[in-house]
Amino acid sequence: MNPCRLIYKSTAVEVPVSNESIRDLIDHSSKKNSDAGITGLLLLCGRHFLQVLEGPPEKVNALFQKISVDSRHHTVELIEFQVSAESLFQEWSMRLVDLYDLPGEKRKLLMDKYEHADGEIFIPKEAVRVISLLLDARAICLTTPWKE
Ligand SMILES: Cc1cc2nc3c(=O)[nH]c(=O)nc-3n(C[C@H](O)[C@H](O)[C@H](O)COP(=O)(O)O)c2cc1C
């Protein structure tokens, strides 16, 4: 079956989200997503999560059902679900980008383009701008060496 793309946003319960919680989440998710043939990117935008998941529709749907009842976040809002979607984020089974942690010049690039206040870049309201932010984050990942 053709892959689908699902995008949602949510609000973290733990603020700020600790490095340890994020590491646990990413380690677990990378392994599980890889087994399920799912790829994606998770942005941390201040206290908000923005995640894109791509892969087999039944696997992505099942994962989203689990994610939407996860007690580590709330106010989970579906932004887009597209079937037969062109894969745009196939580089990583799961990759986290904390927009607060980006090098200065990359943050400036995003701040010139997206609404922000007090150093926090806001998740855009329109789905098309959300995809644009995710693609910008992807481009930043591909041009920024990973720091542990
Ligand atoms: C913001 C957020 C993003 C998550 N993303 C994923 C993910 O991409 N893959 C995954 O397996 N679990 C993810 N989880 C965890 C799931 O909600 C759930 O805890 C996990 O799938 C349960 O795994 P299990 O079936 O091994 O118990 C995420 C949780 C949160 C709060």
The pLDDT confidence band at residue 121, using thresholds 50, 70 and 90, is very high
Parent domain of 16: 4-143
pLDDT in tens, 86-117: 889 999 999 999 999 999 999 999 999 999 99
- Residue 17 inside a domain? The answer is yes
- Residue 32 inside a domain? The answer is yes
Q: For residue 137, give the CATH number of its domain.
A: 3.30.70.100
- Residue 148 inside a domain? The answer is no
- Residue 39 CB less than 6 A away from ligand 1: no
- Residue 94 CB less than 6 A away from ligand 1: yes
The pLDDT confidence band at residue 148, using thresholds 50, 70 and 90, is very low
Tell me the percentage of the chain whose pLDDT exceeds 90: 83
The structural domain count of the chain equals 1
pLDDT in tens, 18-48: 889 999 999 999 999 999 999 999 999 999 9
Identify the residue whose C-alpha is closest to ligand 1 atom 16.
67
- Residue 135 inside a domain? The answer is yes
Distance 10 CA to ligand 1 centre (A): 13
Q: Within a 10 A sphere around the Cβ of 81, how many other Cβ atoms?
A: 16
- Residue 12 inside a domain? The answer is yes
Q: Which two tokens stand for residue 71?
A: 């007690």
Q: Which two tokens stand for residue 3?
A: 């892959």
